Amino acid sequence: AGSRDVPLFKILMTNQCNNDCAYCTNCIEHKYQRARLSPEALARIYMKYYESNMVEGLFLSSGIIKDADTTMEEMIEAAHILRNKYSYKGYIHLKIIPGSSKDHIKHAMQLADRVSINIEAATKDGLSDLSSTKNYDKDILKRLDWIDNLHRRDHSLASSGHTTQIIVGANDESDEDILKQVYNLTKKYDVLYNYFSSFTPVKGTPLETHEANNPKRTGRLYQTEYLFNQYNYTLDDIVLDDNG
């Protein structure tokens, strides 16, 4: 309701990555050509699209270049160049890399309209099934708490709020597992939206033979989240059976 289409320039600083996320085309085990943009090049490329009225905002993420903070530094530098060298006042969404320092997170929130950190799974065990390089509590939920606290203290930091994403169907998590975490994230961390990415197997990744998720499942999860956010439904109001 009240939404509109906004063309975003959605890009990675690099598709190099040291993480081993089993569902991801950029995982370290997937053998293919890698590329990397400098912060200056990314800012320059974006401004060409923006000044040509092809896009209205930037959505910037990245693979892990060396470690979380090195990656965040390059993303922050790209946003800094846009804001200060090019005097860009428009929309910027920055991904927060799991494991980033609080200083880097705050700096990113000073430059971005919105930030997000992907939790990827609804449970600690669910993330362990997908990656051995991320700690669910330390690298993700702790950083989500930092983002929430920083925004609560100063609403000018990431003034449009913060979001997250869950991969649906890449592990054995049930709809109940996912909805419990979605409800918790909304109430505890004031997450604006939970995006649901429907798992599709990618050739050359560890999960290439895993069954694809039924998109209808993802649609139902979006509908249920809407009931939480817009109609104040609780978990007790949602009827679940063995099929979700």
Q: What is the pLDDT along the chain (244 residues), one digit of tens a residue?
A: 577 788 999 999 999 999 999 999 999 888 888 999 999 999 999 999 999 999 999 999 999 999 999 999 999 999 999 999 999 999 999 999 999 999 999 999 999 999 999 999 999 999 999 999 999 999 999 999 999 999 999 999 999 999 999 999 999 999 999 999 999 999 999 999 999 999 999 998 999 999 999 999 999 999 999 999 999 999 999 999 888 8
CA–CA dist 235, 217 (Å, integer) = 17
Candidates 33, 36, 112; CA nearest to 70 is: 36
- pTM for this one? 0.94
Cβ neighbours around 51 below 10 Å, total: 11
CA–CA dist 44, 28 (Å, integer) = 28
Cβ neighbours around 26 below 10 Å, total: 19
